[in-house]
Structure 1
Amino acid sequence: MGTLLWLAFVLALAGALLNGLGALWQNSAVRDKQDGQLVKLGALLDLLRNRRWLMGQSAVIVGSVLHFGALAFAPVSVIQPIGVLAIAVTTVASSRREHTSLTFGSWLALAAVVMGVGGFTSLAATNAQVTSVSDATAVLIVVIVGLILMVLGLVGSIGRGLVRCLAFAAGGGVVFGFASVVVRLAALAVEHRNLADFPTGSLIGAVLAIPVAIWFIQQAHASGPPNVVVAALTLTDPVVAIGIGYVALGEGAKTSTIATLSEAGCFLLAAAGIVLLSKLQPAKPPGLAETVEGPREREEIRSRGPRR
Structure 2
Amino acid sequence: MEPLNDLVEQIPLDPSTFIGIPLALIGAVFLSLGAQFQHRGVVKVEAHTADTLGKGLNGRQLALLLARPSWVLGTLMLGLAIVFQLSSLYFAPIIVVQPLGAIALVITSIVNSRVNHVELKRKSITAIIMCVGGVFLFVGVAAFTAVDKPVTDRQLIVILIILAVVLAVAGITFVLFRTSIRAIYYVIMAGVLYGFVATLAKVVLGRIEQGEFEWLTFTCLLGLLLATALGAYFVQNAYASGPPDLVIAGLTVVDPLVAVVIGIVVLGEASQAPPWAIAVYVVSGAIAVWGVFQLAKNHPQTRL
TM-score (norm 1): 0.80
Q: CA deviation at 1:207?
A: 2.6
Kindly provide the CA deviation profile for residues 139-163 of structure 1, in whole angstroms up to 9, marking residues without a partner as x: 33122112123323444552677x6
Identify which of 163, 187, 202 aligns with 1:184.
Answer: 202
Amino acid at match of 2:294: L
Instruction: Write the mapping of 1:1-308 to structure 2, written as runs, cut at 5 A.
Output: 4-34=16-46, 36-156=54-174, 158=177, 164-189=182-207, 194-196=210-212, 199-281=217-299
Q: CA deviation at 1:226?
A: 0.9
Q: CA deviation at 1:98?
A: 0.7
Amino acid at match of 2:19: L
Q: Whole-Å Cα distance in 1 between the matches of residues 141 and 59 of structure 2?
A: 40
Kindly provide the CA deviation profile for residues 223-242 of structure 1, in whole angstroms up to 9, marking residues without a partner as x: 21111111111112112212
- Structure 1 runs of 4+ aligned residues shifted over 6 Å read none
The answer as to whether partners of 1:90 and 1:226 remain within 8 angstroms in 2 is: yes
RMSD value, Cα? 2.8
Aligned to 1:290: none
The answer as to whether partners of 2:45 and 2:64 remain within 8 angstroms in 1 is: no
> Could you say what secondary structure the match of 1:195 adopts?
coil
Kindly provide the CA deviation profile for residues 243-297 of structure 1, in whole angstroms up to 9, marking residues without a partner as x: 2223333445433332222111111111221122122245xxxxxxxxxx89xxx
The answer as to whether partners of 2:27 and 2:85 remain within 8 angstroms in 1 is: yes
Q: Whole-Å Cα distance in 2 between the matches of residues 257 and 197 of structure 1?
A: 38
Gap change, CA 1:180 and 1:132, over 3 Å in 2: same
Amino acid at match of 1:142: L
How many positions carry a matched residue from both structures?
281
> Could you say what secondary structure the match of 1:249 adopts?
coil
Amino acid at match of 1:272: W
Q: Percent identity?
A: 30
Q: Whole-Å Cα distance in 2 between the matches of residues 186 and 150 of structure 1?
A: 22
Amino acid at match of 1:195: G
Gap change, CA 1:10 and 1:252, over 3 Å in 2: closer
Identify unmatched segments of 5+ residues in structure 1: 283-292, 295-308
Kindly provide the CA deviation profile for residues 155-207 of structure 1, in whole angstroms up to 9, marking residues without a partner as x: 4552677x6322222222223222222333345456xx643498443233213
TM-score (norm 2): 0.81
> Could you say what secondary structure the match of 2:191 adopts?
helix
Gap change, CA 1:2 and 1:202, over 3 Å in 2: closer
> Could you say what secondary structure the match of 2:151 adopts?
coil
Q: CA deviation at 1:129?
A: 4.2
